[in-house]
Structure 1
């Protein structure tokens, strides 16, 4: 017996590479799109793999089950939306115009109602999953809350609860799920302007 023989290493996860990160992000973006378009139950790991142009084994390599994939993909989606919202809110234009750009951006990404989607998925999720999703969603409201707080301090809008304004504005933009109404109103641009005009009546100074 050769006692000098080097013991074989146990197989493990490969080192993280740029290619691995790109694959993971592609899976996340694809999964989020599918979940938001078709709901939780109608989307399978196989469908995500096919749409991502990877093997099913690759999807399971990064995400152990559909509940985990759903949680991470939706949370990542909210993180991307938060970054885009913050970018649109940080320009030098007036608040009303910035709200218009945020609303238009939301209207151009129509999908099913998120609360309905989450309710459908809840039986498959843990409390930890739901907490992670809600925390990611909360960041969007915080971005809006901060800009409303700044506008109130500068006198650009009447003094009100910035948090209430953030949640109210988010509710207003949920009309993006009503495709027929958006078409009836003349498309995303005109609908966004009408929504912001309606919202602005209640917060602009006299």
Structure 2
């Protein structure tokens, strides 16, 4: 049973109130620290963004995301950063996971959202980048979700990656086993690509 969050400030109460009017509960298990890699599932519709933003406002959590440095040029740069964007180099000569770990090291607080499936359409496998980012940065993985069957939005648990991704992924599979997305036909299985599968 996840902990229902009690909002404090005016904006938090307003956002939580909107969610409550829509029949949704705001869930936030107490975080183990100020830095997490936040993996969300299921992500099957553009509508998810609306509920995710309301959840962030309701809990006072500033969610950040990673984007290619080219996206942050010109007039769009300040807007992208304001929306939580963090520019990184996606050059193949640079280790992406290490870049993210360095960003964590430079910040006192960071809730970094990673789309594990990488798409709103059905995906046969999850991408493992979120796991290795957390492992390299030595931060917990937050299990975030939008469950349309129960109308719950939130974070229902955390775990520290051990380095054994196969064993750790059992925690992820168990947690998300009963979560239902907005468009179930777009919801792929919670599984990693087999090592010998290109």
TM-score for both structures, normalised by structure 2: 0.27
TM-score for both structures, normalised by structure 1: 0.26
Could you say which structure has the higher strand fraction?
2
Could you say which structure has the higher helix fraction?
1
Q: Which has the higher contact order (CA 8 A, sep 6+)?
A: 2
CA radius of gyration, larger in:
1
